[in-house]
Amino acid sequence: MAAAKMSMAITEHGGEELVRHYQAQELIPPRRPLLHNLLDKQLSAWASAQVVSGVLSFGLGLVFATTAEFNSFLIILFRIPFLNGALFFIAGLLSNLLHREPRLLPVCFRANLACMACAIVGTVIMCVDLALMENTTHKKTEVLVLCVTLVQMILSALLTFWIHKEQLRLKPRA
């Protein structure tokens, strides 16, 4: 954005009309949003991926729960895909709202930490479940759920790191 201090009047000079043209005298830097560094990393795209992975995890858990016996698998007993799916869906929605409401930054940080912790615990339980499992049909589905959970964990770790950096940048220095 630029600003100038001059009139834009049309003047006459020797029978000819001259028009003064606008020329910037000084440059005024544009106002940057509060979370500029975080929003530059395309936060909405990462948050949308988090929402989609949450829906996918929930759906895969539903498929796994309807095709297997309830008490035979730890993944169903602890309801890991449902919990992961719901947490990641909510954390993705919160991350998507950050560009409108910067006050949600601490809430979003805690939600991503909870997602990462839940994904780590779920990964360990799924690995134990896969080691104890013999049925190959359900093993393929559980490996797919494990892969989605690992992707969710990476997404959540990345967003947690970026949000933490932004919180440190915004924190007032004493």
Supply the pTM of this predicted model: 0.71
User: β-strand 16-19 against 26-27: which pairing, if any?
Assistant: unpaired
Q: How far apart are CA 113 and CA 57, in angstroms?
A: 18
Query: Letter for the amino acid at 25?
Result: Q
| Tens-level pLDDT at each residue, the chain (174 residues) | 555 555 555 555 565 555 566 666 777 777 666 666 666 668 888 888 899 989 998 888 888 778 877 677 777 777 888 888 999 999 999 988 887 888 888 999 999 999 999 999 999 988 988 888 776 677 888 888 889 899 989 989 998 988 888 888 877 765
